[in-house]
Amino acid sequence: MLQVLSALSFYATGSYKRIVGMAKYLGQTTVSKCVKEVTDALVTPAILNTFIRFPSTRADRDLIKSNFFAKYGFPGVIGCIDGSHFHIFTPSKEIEHLFYCRKHFHSLNVQMICDSDCRILNVNAKYGGATHDAFIWENSLANNYMQELHRNNEHVWLLGDSGYPQRPW
């Protein structure tokens, strides 16, 4: 349990110091090991394919649309999309510029799509912090899938902030 709590605290803050300060008996090396082990466990195909799934059937999408409408009054919405910067250690000089973000630190810009219950439907963690949200979206499988649904006359939408272009899907 302590491993999971340490990892969650690190994911939330990006800081080892706070965790070490809260739990005096945990050193940075121990916290680093906890974060690695929990992260490795979370990214196994069994976990990812079970818990992080974009709605692949019309019934799945209809249920999500119904929930969005009931909770927030948005018709046709199947997800909310945004990018979030996750701190990383400074990469090598050759590629450092790809990871230095507008918030003045090195990061991954991780795009996530969540449903009305904040369940993660899609994650794209392929890009460095210097990459704009719109570029990540334009080059994502989720974008291709939304375009395909639109071509097949299924009218579903994602809600995103001004970092994303307006599209009919």
What confidence tens digit (pLDDT) does each residue in 85-112 have? 988 889 999 999 999 999 999 999 999 9
pLDDT, residue 61, reads 98
pLDDT at 157 over 60: yes
Helices and strands in the chain: count of H runs, count of E runs: 7, 4
pLDDT at 21 over 60: no
Euclidean distance between CA atoms 136 and 164, whole angstroms: 10
| Alpha helices, H only, 14-125 | 16-22, 28-42, 45-51, 58-72
pLDDT, residue 24, reads 58
Q: Given the DSSP bridges, would you call strands 107-114 and 157-160 parallel, antiparallel or unpaired?
A: unpaired
Are 7 and 39 in contact by the 8 Å Cβ rule? The answer is yes
pLDDT, residue 69, reads 98
